Amino acid sequence: MTRFRLTVEFDGRPFMGWQRQAHGPSVQEAIERAAKAATGETVTLHAAGRTDAGVHGLAMTAHLDVERAITPFRLMEALNALLRPDPVAVLACEEAPDDFHARFSCLGRHYVYRIINRRAPLTHEKGLAWRIAAPLDAEAMHAAAQRLVGRHDFTTFRSAHCQSESPVKTLDRLDVARDGERVTVRASARSFLHHQVRSMVGCLALVGQGKWSADDLRGALEARDRAALGLNAPPDGLFFVRADY
Amino acid sequence: MTRFRLTVEFDGRPFMGWQRQAHGPSVQEAIERAAKAATGETVTLHAAGRTDAGVHGLAMTAHLDVERAITPFRLMEALNALLRPDPVAVLACEEAPDDFHARFSCLGRHYVYRIINRRAPLTHEKGLAWRIAAPLDAEAMHAAAQRLVGRHDFTTFRSAHCQSESPVKTLDRLDVARDGERVTVRASARSFLHHQVRSMVGCLALVGQGKWSADDLRGALEARDRAALGLNAPPDGLFFVRADY
């Protein structure tokens, strides 16, 4: 048995999410199907994060175990050939120690959320960014975001479907920066609650439009109540960037 | 009559090209149809460049004349609303002098060609870049590209369908730069021949793979013969960046 560590890029638009679902296509299912065709074995894929429908991946880490002898390069090439035409690509494949676990060994997760701040609809990036027509004050968003950094009970920013044991998480980074019409939010933590990044970005968008103050954002956090959430951002702009081990 | 200058972004994937065609959808037709719905008038759109099928636009300049009174802002909003779901967006709209002509007043045209240099297939950027699996030497490509800069007979890099009166053009800039797996080619000139950028990029890709030397590229130019062309790059990676006036 050899454990392989994969680095996966995917376009979330056609998928119901990363995780295998009964009712529609998933990234996990696409890769497991390709792996079965490549090796003849029924494999289970484990990933650093389980992204929602419509959320994208730039370099998701995952692992799987294969019994038959195959080199990492040949496995990667076979998976990429068999994954077509699904918008999923294996960027890297390497042997990993038997105790490596893409989910449980992960020490840090990084997301980026792309906002395009303009009146005109999106063309090339439709489904790959959140278009916000009203002008956003990115500096105010960044300043307010710092009120969420640190160890907190993030119940307000947690989906009702979240399976995490505790709502207490440590947010290491939440940066907002503007480059022309692009406003980019970068979030890093050891782990996130379900919908946490999208919920934080949604509320930051309210701050950026002047509808919420930094104190309103802090108040929403301290309410520890999903009903205090201002807005959940759409999945379109969210990308899982990478996992640290 | 008011002349309006439009700045247009479009995703070329679903179109047969910018110019109105008998056999399929075009960007020009989409905008003219929206303009007719917005104004009740049959308008003709003129553009700085006529891009091929599958080629994209970041900020194409175009103009049209409208008889009825309408503000630039209202025209832009109406066009964007009526263009949906086509991936065409009017980024800016302003009144222009009657002697402004998007094509004939244009003093400079800028293109970018995006190459992604990796083995893995594309996901988010499928159709928006040219994936080249073999390693490319971007520095060698840049050095060779300088042999094409200047005033030359570009017959080798000209499509058989080119309608330009003369094959002699002045290429002001042809830069190649790498950023990680991305190799970006930037081309600027007062005007280009049909297929010129794609033909130059195709031959630069041969240089990047070590199949052609800089002398081979120069020899192809000097041959003034389409048969000397090494490779025509696919439309996927080509973007019309902007026009100067």
* Residue B113 annotated as binding site: no
d(C-alpha A7, C-alpha A97), whole Å: 16
Q: Which residues of chain B have pLDDT under 70?
A: none
Q: Which helix (H) or strand (E) holds B75?
A: helix B72-83
Residues of A in contact with B122 (CB under 8 A): 87, 89
C-alpha triplet B15, B21, B25: angle, nearest 5°: 30
Q: What is the mean pLDDT of chain B?
A: 96
Does residue A156 form part of some domain? yes
Does residue A154 form part of some domain? yes
Closest Cα in chain B to A56? B124
d(C-alpha A40, C-alpha B72), whole Å: 62
Distance of CA A126 to the CA centre of its chain: 18
Q: For residues B169 and B108, is the Cβ–Cβ distance under 8 A?
A: no
Specify whether A91 is located in the same domain as A145.
no
pLDDT averaged over 10-residue windows placed end to end, chain A, 245 residues: 97 95 93 97 95 96 96 97 96 97 96 98 97 98 98 94 90 98 98 96 98 97 93 96 97
Beta carbons of A87 and B118 less than 8 Å apart: no
Known binding positions of A for substrate? 111
Specify whether A113 is located in the same domain as A166.
yes
Tokens 């636009």 map to which residue? Answer: B57
> Could you report the per-residue pLDDT of A1-37, keeping only the tens digit for each?
999 999 999 999 999 999 998 889 999 999 999 999 9
Q: What is the ipTM of this complex?
A: 0.92
Residues of A in contact with B9 (CB under 8 A): 120, 123-124
The CA distances from residue A206 to A85, A135, A182, A201, in Å, are 38, 11, 16, 9
Specify whether B232 is located in the same domain as B121.
yes
Specify whether A179 is located in the same domain as A113.
yes
Tokens 């406003």 map to which residue? Answer: A183
Question: Mapping DSSP to helix (H, G, I), strand (E, B) and coil, where does residue A127 land?
Answer: coil
DSSP state at residue B226: G
Does residue A35 form part of some domain? yes
Question: Mapping DSSP to helix (H, G, I), strand (E, B) and coil, where does residue A143 land?
Answer: helix
Tokens 């959430």 map to which residue? Answer: A229
User: Would strands B182-189 and B168-179 be described as parallel, antiparallel, or unpaired?
Assistant: antiparallel
Specify whether A167 is located in the same domain as A233.
yes
Specify whether B167 is located in the same domain as B189.
yes
How many domains does one find in chain B?
A: 2
Query: What domain range includes position A84?
Result: 2-96
Which residues are B3's β-sheet partners? B65, B96
Specify whether B237 is located in the same domain as B204.
yes
Specify whether B89 is located in the same domain as B133.
no
> Could you report the per-residue pLDDT of B29-60, keeping only the tens digit for each?
999 999 999 999 999 999 999 899 999 999 99
> Could you report the per-residue pLDDT of B138-165, keeping only the tens digit for each?
999 999 999 999 999 999 999 988 888 8
Number of residues in chain A: 245
C-alpha triplet A136, A138, A141: angle, nearest 5°: 100
d(C-alpha B125, C-alpha A134), whole Å: 27
Q: For residues B169 and B233, is the Cβ–Cβ distance under 8 A?
A: no
The CA distances from residue B183 to A179, B176, B178, B201, in Å, are 21, 7, 4, 11
Beta carbons of A120 and B91 less than 8 Å apart: yes
Residues of A in contact with B93 (CB under 8 A): none
